[in-house]
């Protein structure tokens, strides 16, 4: 029997599922995605930035895009055709993981259009349409965890739809997301065991913003806190998860078959080269969690990651870090609000840039540039 690698051990011994934070057609057609699954990847996340890079930097999509444009599709409709095609193929590859895990893993995530992140009605309608169009049990539709996204999350859960809540940075917003999930479950009159959700808490971007502020403050005490905020923030999010998924309210839902909404650690590649490349994996390991990583981080963890339960090893230390940040002059509420706005803006920019590039490609094809 082959010895399990670190990615497999992460799930088997620690209860954390490693997911791949990337998707491109070349991986699907070459068998690379299947190889990742064999190595231990148990789910896939995507976002507009990922698809921008995949489509703009590859010719893999040209034929299908040209056929769609030639058939009279708009550029935006053609884009969604390309994306849903990749998602369907990935769903098929991950379906055995989904079935073997009793519906816990094997998910592939697709995100609603970034431009509607501040529009509750449009987000709700888009999420519903994506679920109905793709219609696979291992599909997650990603809804941004903005204030406008909260009612859409609750509505989707109340309809029994599987949702990945994305772009979470702050504890207050995360609490609202948990409440929306619980309320949605309480409203749903179907089989609660079929409703699955994750809450994607972004990690490394917190350090990027906080470190910038600490360096601007410049005191010795402030500089000593660099590289500590993101992990502490995520570890306190896990404490909130433990608190909210317990007690009478949760017990009543468990009696109806409900599953916890697992915390998912996103943005876990290390942006600062001074920090260890597995920083945001090694420090956030614990049961009923997911860590979605780009391929370089998956490789790094498989090579030299630390396998130990760390996410709740010392919550008091995490609280002290947040207290010390406040004392140094860093307002974490402002940090997370800024990051939420920037996150929505970044995805919207990627989406707009991609559509612009596709407009140019469509014009070229229509003028006879297609070979």
Q: Which residues are tagged catalytic? A: 142
Interatomic CA distance for residues 122 and 131, integer angstroms:
14
The answer to whether 199 and 263 have CB atoms below 8 angstroms apart is yes
3-class SS letters over the chain: CCCCCHHHHHHHHHCEEEEECCCCHHHHHHCHHHHHHHHCCCEECCCHHHHHHHHHCCCCCHHHHHHHHHCCCCHHHHHHHHHHHHHHHHHHHHHHHHHHCCCCCCEEEEECCHHHCCCHHHHHHHHHHHHHHHCCCCEEEEEECCCCHHHHHHHHHHCCCCEEEEEECCHHHHHHHHHHHHHHHHHCCCCHHHCCEEEEEECHHHHHHHHHHHHHHCCHHHHCCCCCHHHHHHHHHHHHHHHHCCCHHHHHHHCCCCCCCEEEEECCCCCCCCCCCCHHHHCCCCCCEEEEECHHHHHHHHHHCCCCCCCCCCHHHHHHHHHHHHHHCCCHHHHHHHHHHHHHHHHHHHHHHHHHHHHHHHHHHHHHHCC
By CB neighbour count within 10 A (0-12 exposed, 13-18 middle, 19+ buried), where does 212 fall? Answer: exposed
Tokens of residue 315, six digits: 């919550």
Pick from 275, 259, 267, 211: nearest CA to 234: 267
Interatomic CA distance for residues 230 and 265, integer angstroms:
11
């Amino acid at each position: 029997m082959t010895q399990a690698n670190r990615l497999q051990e992460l799930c088997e011994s620690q209860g954390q599922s490693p997911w791949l934070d990337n998707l491109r057609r070349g991986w699907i057609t070459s068998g690379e995605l299947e190889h990742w699954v064999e190595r231990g990847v148990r789910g896939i996340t995507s976002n507009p930035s990922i698809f921008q890079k995949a489509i703009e930097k590859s010719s893999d999509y040209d034929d299908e895009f040209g056929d769609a444009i030639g058939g009279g599709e708009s550029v935006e409709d053609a884009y969604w055709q390309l994306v849903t095609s990749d998602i369907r193929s990935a769903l098929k590859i991950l379906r055995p993981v989904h079935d073997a895990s009793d519906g816990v893993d094997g998910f592939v995530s697709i995100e609603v259009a970034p431009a509607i992140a501040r529009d509750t009605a449009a987000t709700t309608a888009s999420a519903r349409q994506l679920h109905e169009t793709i219609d696979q049990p291992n599909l997650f539709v990603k809804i941004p965890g903005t204030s406008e996204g909260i009612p859409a999350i609750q509505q989707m859960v109340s309809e029994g739809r599987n949702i990945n809540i994305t772009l979470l940075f702050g504890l207050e917003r995360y609490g609202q997301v948990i409440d929306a999930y619980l309320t949605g479950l309480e409203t749903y009159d179907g089989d609660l065991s079929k409703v699955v959700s994750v809450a994607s808490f972004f990690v490394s971007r917190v350090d990027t913003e906080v470190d910038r502020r600490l360096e601007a403050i410049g005191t010795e005490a402030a500089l000593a806190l660099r590289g500590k905020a993101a992990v502490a923030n995520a570890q306190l999010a896990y404490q909130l998860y433990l608190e909210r998924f317990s007690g009478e309210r949760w017990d009543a839902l468990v009696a109806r078959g409900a599953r916890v909404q697992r915390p998912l650690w996103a943005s876990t590649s290390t942006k600062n080269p001074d920090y260890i490349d597995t920083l945001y994996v090694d420090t956030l390991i614990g049961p009923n969690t997911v860590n979605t990583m780009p391929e370089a981080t998956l490789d790094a963890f498989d090579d030299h990651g630390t396998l130990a339960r760390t996410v709740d090893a010392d919550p008091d230390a995490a609280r002290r870090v947040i207290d010390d940040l406040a004392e140094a002059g860093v307002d974490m509420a402002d940090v997370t609000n800024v990051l939420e706005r920037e996150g929505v803006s970044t995805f919207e920019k990627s989406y707009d840039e991609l559509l612009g590039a596709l407009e140019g490609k469509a014009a070229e094809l229509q003028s006879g540039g297609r070979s």
